[in-house]
Amino acid sequence: MSDENKENLEYGLPSHEEMERSGDPVTMGSSPFKFLVSGLEWGNLPDNWTLSEATSVAVNSVDEIIVFNRGTKPIIIFDKEGNYLRSWGENTFSNAHGISVDNSDNIYCVDSGDNTVRKFDPSGNLIFQLGKEGERAEKMSGLPFAVPTQVAVDESTNDFYVADGYSNAKVHKYDENGKYLFSWGESGTGEGQFNIVHNISTDSEGLVYVADRENHRVQIFDQEGKYINQWINLSRAACIYVDKRGKEDIFYVGEYFSGIASNDTGTDLGPRISIFNKSGKLLSRLGKESYGPSVGRFYSPHGICVDSEGNIYVAEVSYSDYGQFLNPKRELRSMQKLVKTN
């Protein structure tokens, strides 16, 4: 066995060739959260454009789908049918990671490569930038930023939170103008501790939900950073989106595969999408098989959002986690749309 394959067995990278995509569209989930899935790449790109991989996805007030990606155009906006509308952001980002929008459709982009958070207006004009390119805080120093990942906006105040991230174990809070307020969190597995603060969102009451990825959970905090509760029985919780449009908030959690390559055909280990209500009750779960291109499977759900009709858009870091290890290296599916059927 080669050294590369030994490493794959430990870290869950594919030691096999890409499986063939096959099959007709399938229905996933359970009522009232059932979805039709094609398994095909979503979004009609202009000729010679690529996503390479989509790292995050957001939806604005008019149901435009904003895809943050590591391809030729870092910000690409589609309508909800997948038709290309516009793009911007060329020569701006080092390593696209997280994207989110506020009530005014301002766009927050988190760049894990240059350790910055940028706020743009809906047309892509820069409003402000937090962090300086090329300057990263010392690992686990608690100072902003050490490979940040995502922003969540509190719609009641327009304050926002930065998940920080891969080399820190902190959530930082700022006011709407980017003034630093305070931080919380530390490394560990206990309440209020983190092991990769990978994604973050807020609900309609302003509570903060943190995808604590390598602790396989979502932690819940108030607006002052006080621990409230946690949801467990998750795989590697990589992203979270709160749909606030209905009578009650609905929570969508994207989970990575949590096995390793020696058990890469194990079931119920992710990757998958889990849907919860505010009390943490599991309402539906989408995905049972391990990673792959076939219908009903995911690679690595890294970003997620939901439009006004309840359709789910999933951004997957398929190249980083899988495509670069294939022979030859190649781009895999980066975006899926799950169409709500009831």
Per-residue pLDDT at 328: 93
Given a cut of 70, whether residue 16 has pLDDT beyond it is: no
| Backbone phi, psi, residue 139, to 5° | -50, 130
pLDDT category at 10 given cuts 50, 70, 90 is very low
Q: Which CATH number fits domain 93-197+222-230: 2.120.10.30, 2.60.40.2220, 3.90.480.20, 3.30.1330.10?
A: 2.120.10.30
Q: What is the mean pLDDT of residues 286-293?
A: 93
How many C-beta neighbours within 10 Å does residue 325 have? 18
pLDDT (tens digit per residue) in 91-108? 999 999 999 999 999 999
Q: How far apart are alpha carbons 277 and 81 in whole angstroms?
A: 27
Residue 154 has pLDDT above 70, yes or no: yes
Q: How far apart are CA 334 and CA 228, in angstroms?
A: 34
Is the torsion defined by CA of 106, 107, 108, 111 positive or negative?
A: negative
Residue whose token pair is 């909800």: 80
Predicted confidence (pLDDT) per residue in 200-258, tens digit: 999 999 999 999 999 999 999 999 999 999 999 999 999 999 999 999 999 999 999 99
Work out the mean pLDDT of the chain and round it to a whole number.
93
Average pLDDT over every residue of 165-189: 97
What residue segments make up the domains of the chain, in order of their start?
1-18+26-85+235-342, 93-197+222-230
Q: What is the pLDDT of residue 261?
A: 80
d(CA 227, CA 185): 10
* Confidence grade of residue 5 (pLDDT, cut at 50, 70, 90): very low
pLDDT at 21: 54
C-alpha of 136 from chain center: 22
Query: Model pTM?
Result: 0.94
CA gap 294, 23 in Å, rounded: 7
Is residue 114 within 8 Å of 134, Cβ to Cβ? Answer: yes
- Beta-bridge partners for 108: 100, 119
Q: What is the pLDDT of residues 322-341, one digit of tens each?
A: 999 999 999 899 999 999 99
CA distances, 240 to each of 149, 201, 213, 274, 301 (Å): 12, 6, 11, 10, 10
Q: What pLDDT band is residue 11 in, cutting at 50, 70 and 90?
A: very low
Q: Per residue in 242-282, pLDDT tens?
A: 999 999 999 999 999 998 888 888 999 999 999 999 999 99
- What distance in Å separates the CA atoms of residue 173 and residue 221, rounded to the nearest whole number? 12
Q: Quickly state the pLDDT bin for 22 (edges 50, 70, 90).
A: low
Instruction: Please tell me the predicted confidence (pLDDT) of residue 48.
Output: 92
Beta strands in 207-299 (DSSP E): 208-212, 217-221, 227-231, 236-243, 250-256, 272-276, 282-286
